Amino acid sequence: GDPLLTLYIPAYKRPELSLLLKSMAKQLTNRCEVIVTDDDPQGSAWKYVSTLLANAPCRVEYKRNVTNIGSIPNCMRAYEMARAPWLWVLGDDDKLLDGAVSAVLDQITVDDVDRLILLTEQAPQNAAGMTGCPADIAKVEPGLLIAVLVFLRCLKLIRLLFAVGNC
């Protein structure tokens, strides 16, 4: 069936990607898909994706950009490539906390509200593991407006907004 959650990683020449993929690999289910877009034309992320996610129980897609397109356009590729209704954008230097994927899947199957869920080791101490709307989380930790982990609902609407230049 179709995935419920896309885990999207825009990558660029970071060996820390291996730590993220190791922390992710044991948590993946058939309700997920993983997409890695590599902004290194030499394809430096492939060695990590091909070995660490080789036995993943879900779809894994690797896309190497022919030229370095930059971090923001590389992040925006998520909206073109994701098949799931929920999108989790991870930095290539993040590391998931144990149980993060199942916690996210549990949250998004019982609640239809857009969420920001901070389940990486890099999350600020006072907000780690917190769920709620972005405005509530920003009250606890104002710097989280540019958060590590972002969920966006209604990808078709978002794609439309980007296509007409309103975002």
Q: How confident is the model at residue 53 (pLDDT cuts 50, 70, 90)?
A: very high
**Percentage of the chain surpassing pLDDT 70?**
66
Residues 48/21, Cβ–Cβ less than 8 Å? yes
Contact between 29 and 129 (Cβ < 8 Å): no
Output the pLDDT for position 159.
38
Residue 63: its pLDDT value, please?
Answer: 96
Mean pLDDT score across all residues of the chain = 77
The secondary element (H helix, E strand) that includes residue 23 is: helix 17-25
Q: Each residue of 88-130: pLDDT tens digit?
A: 888 898 888 888 888 888 877 776 555 545 555 555 555 555 5
Q: Which long-range contacts (CB under 8 A, 24 or more apart) does 158-161 make?
A: 158/79, 159/79, 159/80
> To 10 degrees, what angle do helices 155-164 and 71-81 make?
130
**Residue 137 in contact with residue 118, Cβ under 8 Å?**
yes
pLDDT for 86 equals: 83
| Dihedral pair phi/psi, residue 17, rounded to 5° | -55, -35
161 pLDDT higher than 60 = no
